[in-house]
Chains A and B, each alone.
Chain A
């Protein structure tokens, strides 16, 4: 497959364009209609909605139940909270509640994370809130390759899929095939192989973990970096196999630790007898501090985890056993 370098944001746009071309039942709903999409697909399919996240999220559900495949962009995840009724009470349950009689293929895209001095409301990583609901699939890509491949799978999936996209990675470039490909939902990716310790990292933290692994290699510590890529379904097997091999675990997440994805991952590792027995030390979580995200850079940088904290976490686990 011939490859080229494009950004994470560009990869998302390519997925959108190709799927809009591929399937005429796809439509796009957002408060901003991307001009290039309007030009190619027309204003009927690429809709600029009023600022009505509740309404256009519900409209997507009704359109999906009537034969269309809506792609909704909430822009920042922040704005989806005024649509929580439609996400929580309707989208996540509607297929089940009606006995499976209708499918609701919808993608809800949003950006997550901080590091941009936008303060508490506009710096959020709330994906674990949605992991807690049965009935939604959740993707969280960390590279342009995964972004494009996962988003295409999400658009082709017959269920509501929430795509959480890292603000910090929008300009990040990586290799993406020229040809059509997908990344299946529910399959983790080992981003670096190692033998002494596993770092399960999410989104932007994958790259910080890779940098940390590079540093630790100089000290002779071999770090494996696992990226779950989708939070539901979550690839237990790959995560457990890695920890069974290394016997040590650090989990890195830009969200806070309390009832977070990191907590779920730690539980999945610990409750599996074979994986538990393989542990040489207690798992360690490297997450944001449990506070709303502050504005001023000195405080914001203090709150978020980064490669330095991952390295400290790795050292702590290595010393513990």
Chain B
């Protein structure tokens, strides 16, 4: 089922939101308002948005260290996200998590995760819960090409296939794991090919084409809801920025490679699609959208700045649940 014009515009809004949110997060990280580490998703927006557009609010996703895009695409509140990055009391995790650990269980966002490969099995448990509760829910794992070589990938995909869990495993293949090229680490570069070994479908998608991602995800979600089990979707994409926003961090990727992928901007791709398909989509309209998005991002910063820092003693809260 192709995405409706309204849905396509919503996808564009989300992708632009991810980009503007992260541009701001990067700036505020450089100027010291955001601590620790920030991994940007810019350039890969079509993956999170394409997949999450095929999901319902009660479907669940899990993310990795590069999680802002997944959060926004699943419908997370920008204010609480920014407040978390700012380390404030009104952040999603009350300032205990930061960029690498944003979660919102109320919208099925089971958390970013600082351990590469750590989320694969956890979200498989969400798939098991969906199956046992008979709720028609699906669970989705976002993970990188780097994570695809961790043991938890094999363990989890085999179990999900054997138990026919309602799941999507979405590999964001950006060809790099920190400063190491996948050419050095992958015996076969296509991760999707491994699906055959688990008896599940594996598909390779242009991860910079949000509509292609959406279509692949829609099909996989339908399979999952029909009780036919998991699908491995490999999205070929690229991150525009260095592995982290840390100033001066080495980025060994060839400049031509970066430039070639930046020429394939997923946002521009959708804008061009909209212009072609619907004729009436204009640059002015995109400008208006961008103004709205920037206003929302600015509002999230204002919200974060207005939120107090947690009391030092709050460090002792929430070690255990009641």
Contact = CB atoms under 8 A, between A and B. Distances in A.
A and B: partners? yes
B285 interface: no
Contact of B155 (A55, A158, A159): A55
Contact of A68 (B96, B113, B132, B151): B132
Nearest to A94: B111
A95 B129 contact: no
A134 interface: yes
Interface in B75-113: 91-97, 101, 103-106, 110-111, 113
A27 B130 CA distance: 13
B157 to A, nearest CB: 9
Interface residues of A, number: 43
Interface string B215-242: 0000000000000000000000000000
B320 A135 contact: yes
Interface in A50-92: 50, 52, 54-68, 70, 85-86, 89-90
Nearest to B94: A99
B120 A58 contact: yes
B133 interface: yes
A27 B132 contact: yes
Interface in A38-60: 44-45, 47, 49-50, 52, 54-60
Q: Which of A56, A60, A96, A158 has the most CB of B within 10 A?
A: A96
Contacts of A61: 121-122, 125
A55 B121 contact: yes
Contact of B96 (A62, A65, A66, A98): A98
A241 B122 CA distance: 43
B89 to A, nearest CB: 10
Contacts of B117: 85
Contact of A100 (B94, B120, B163): B94
Contact of B121 (A59, A64, A158): A59
Nearest to B113: A90
A95 B319 CA distance: 7
Contact of A99 (B96, B110, B133, B151): B96
Contact of A158 (B93, B97, B139, B321): B321
A55 B105 contact: no
A158 B322 CA distance: 7
Given A100-B94, A135-B320, A50 B162 contact: yes
A216 B119 CA distance: 55
B70 to A, nearest CB: 15
A97 B159 CA distance: 27
A47 B127 CA distance: 14
Contacts of A44: 132
Contacts of A98: 92-93, 96-97, 101, 103, 105, 111
Nearest to B92: A99
Q: Which of B110, B118, B132 has the most CB of A within 10 A?
A: B132
A66 B159 contact: no
A103 to B, nearest CB: 4
Most-contacted residue by chain A among B93, B130, B321 (CB, 10 A): B321
B156 to A, nearest CB: 5
A222 to B, nearest CB: 38
Contacts of B62: 62
A99 B121 contact: no
Contacts of B113: 90
Contact of A54 (B101, B104, B114, B152): B152
Given A54-B155, A100-B317, A59 B128 contact: yes
B158 interface: yes
Contact of A63 (B106, B111, B129): B129
B77 to A, nearest CB: 13
Interface in B6-58: none
A89 B121 contact: no
B159 A65 contact: no
Nearest to A60: B125
A62 B127 CA distance: 8
A89 to B, nearest CB: 5
Contacts of A103: 321
A245 B262 CA distance: 75
A59 B159 contact: yes
A94 B112 CA distance: 11
Contacts of B111: 94, 97-98
Contact of B124 (A27, A45, A55, A90): A55
A294 to B, nearest CB: 31
Contacts of A21: none
A61 to B, nearest CB: 5
10 closest pairs, A vs B, by CB? Answer: A62-B125, A58-B121, A100-B318, A55-B155, A99-B93, A66-B129, A59-B125, A63-B125, A99-B94, A52-B155
Given A52-B156, A89-B118, A90-B113, 17 more contacts: A47-B163, A52-B158, A55-B152, A58-B118, A58-B152, A58-B156, A62-B126, A64-B125, A65-B125, A66-B126, A96-B96, A96-B318, A96-B319, A97-B96, A98-B111, A101-B104, A159-B320
20 contacts: A44-B132, A45-B132, A52-B121, A54-B151, A54-B152, A56-B121, A58-B124, A60-B125, A61-B125, A62-B62, A62-B122, A62-B128, A62-B139, A63-B129, A64-B125, A65-B110, A90-B122, A101-B106, A103-B321, A135-B319
Interface of B: 60, 62, 91-97, 101, 103-106, 110-111, 113-115, 117-118, 120-130, 132-133, 139, 151-152, 155-156, 158-159, 162-163, 317-322
Interface of A: 27, 44-45, 47, 49-50, 52, 54-68, 70, 85-86, 89-90, 94-104, 134-135, 137, 158-159
